[in-house]
Amino acid sequence: MEKIIEVKDLELSFHTFAGEVKAIRGVNFEVFKGETLAIVGESGSGKSVTTKAIMRLLPESSTEFKNGQILFDGKDLLKTSDKDMQKVRGKEISMIFQDPMTSLNPTMPIGKQIMEPLLKHQKLSKEEARRKSIELLSLVGMPQPEQRMKQYPHQFSGGQRQRIVIAVALACNPKLLIADEPTTALDVTIQAQILELMKDLQKKIETSIIFITHDLGVVANVADRVAVMYGGQIVEFGTVDEIFYNPQHPYTWGLLSSMPSLDTTEEKLYAIPGSPPDLLDPPKGDAFALRSEYAMKIDMEEKPPLFKVSDTHYAATWLLHPDAPKVDPPAAIVERMKKFPGSRYYEGSAGGGR
Amino acid sequence: MAKYIIKRVAYMFISLFLIASFTFVLMKLLPGSPLASAEKLSVEQREVIYEKYGLNDPIPVQYVRYMGNLAKGDFGVSFQFKKADVTTLIVSKLKYSMILGAQALVFGTIVGIVLGMIAALKQNTIWDYGSTVIAILGVSIPSFVFAVMLQYVFAVHWEFFDVGLWNSWKSSVLPSIALAMGPIAIAARFIRTEMIEVLSSDYIMLAKAKGASWLEIAFKHAFRNALIPLITVLGPVAAGLLTGSLVVEQIFAIPGIGEQFVKSINSNDFAVIMGTTMFFSVFLIVIILIVDILYGIIDPRIRLSGGGK
Ligand SMILES: Nc1ncnc2c1ncn2[C@@H]1O[C@H](COP(=O)(O)OP(=O)(O)O)[C@@H](O)[C@H]1O
Ligand SMILES: [Mg+2]
Q: Which ligand has the minimum distance to the alpha carbon of residue A98?
A: 2
- Complex ipTM value: 0.89
* CB B101, CB B109: distance < 8 Å: no
* DSSP code for A108: S
Rg from Cα positions in chain B: 24
- Give the whole-angstrom CA distance, residue B242 versus residue B238: 7
Task: Beginning with the edge strand found earlier in the chain, give each strand of the sheet holding A36-40 in spatial order.
Answer: A93-96, A176-180, A208-213, A36-40, A225-230, A233-239, A313-315, A307-310
Mean pLDDT across B278-284? 83
Mean pLDDT across B249-268? 81
The predicted pLDDT at position B59 comes to 82
The predicted pLDDT at position A236 comes to 96
* CB A105, CB B222: distance < 8 Å: no
pTM: 0.83
pLDDT at B243 > cutoff 90:
no
Number of Cβ atoms within 10 Å of the Cβ of B213: 14
* DSSP code for A269: P
Say which of B201, B210, B224 has its CB closest to residue A89.
B210
The predicted pLDDT at position B278 comes to 85
The predicted pLDDT at position A245 comes to 93
Chain A residue with CA closest to B304: the answer is: A155
Q: Which ligand has the minimum distance to the alpha carbon of residue A180?
A: 2
Q: HSE of B274 in the Cβ direction (CA atoms, 13 Å)?
A: 29
A199 phi/psi in degrees, rounded to 5: -65, -40
Cβ A95 under 6 angstroms from ligand 1: no
Domain at B1-309, CATH from 1.20.1560.10, 1.10.3720.10, 2.40.160.20, 3.10.290.20: 1.10.3720.10
- Test mutation, B210, B213, B295, chain A, max A CBs within 10 A: B210
Higher pLDDT, B50 or A303: A303
Cβ A41 under 6 angstroms from ligand 1: yes
The predicted pLDDT at position A295 comes to 87
A86:B298 CB<8 A: no
B205:A57 CB<8 A: yes
pLDDT at B306 > cutoff 50:
no
Q: Helices in chain A by DSSP H: which ranges?
A: 47-55, 82-88, 110-121, 126-139, 145-148, 158-170, 188-204, 216-222, 240-245, 250-257, 297-301, 331-337
Say which of B203, B221, B300 has its CB closest to residue A152.
B300
- Give the whole-angstrom CA distance, residue B63 versus residue A206: 82
- Test mutation, B121, B194, B197, B203, chain A, max A CBs within 10 A: B203
Which residue, judged by its Cα, is nearest atom 26 of ligand 1? Answer: A44
Which residue, judged by its Cα, is nearest atom 25 of ligand 1? Answer: A44
Closest-CA residue to A176 (of A351, A30, A10) = A30
Q: What is the pLDDT along chain A (354 residues), one digit of tens a residue?
A: 799 999 999 999 999 999 999 999 999 999 999 999 999 999 999 999 999 999 999 998 899 999 999 999 889 999 999 999 999 999 999 999 999 999 999 999 999 999 999 999 999 999 999 999 999 999 999 999 999 999 999 999 999 999 999 999 999 999 999 999 999 888 888 988 999 998 888 888 889 999 999 888 889 888 999 999 999 999 999 999 999 999 999 999 999 988 876 555 556 678 888 888 999 999 888 999 889 888 888 888 999 999 999 999 999 999 999 998 988 999 888 988 998 888 888 887 554 444
A185 in contact with B at a CB cutoff of 8 Å? no
Q: Of how many residues is chain B composed?
A: 309
A90:B211 CB<8 A: yes
The predicted pLDDT at position B241 comes to 84
Cβ A275 under 6 angstroms from ligand 1: no
- Mean pLDDT (chain B) is 82
Q: Which ligand has the minimum distance to the alpha carbon of residue A64?
A: 1
Mean pLDDT across B111-130? 90
Q: What is the pLDDT of residues B165-218, one digit of tens each?
A: 666 777 788 888 888 988 999 999 899 999 999 999 999 999 999 999 999 999
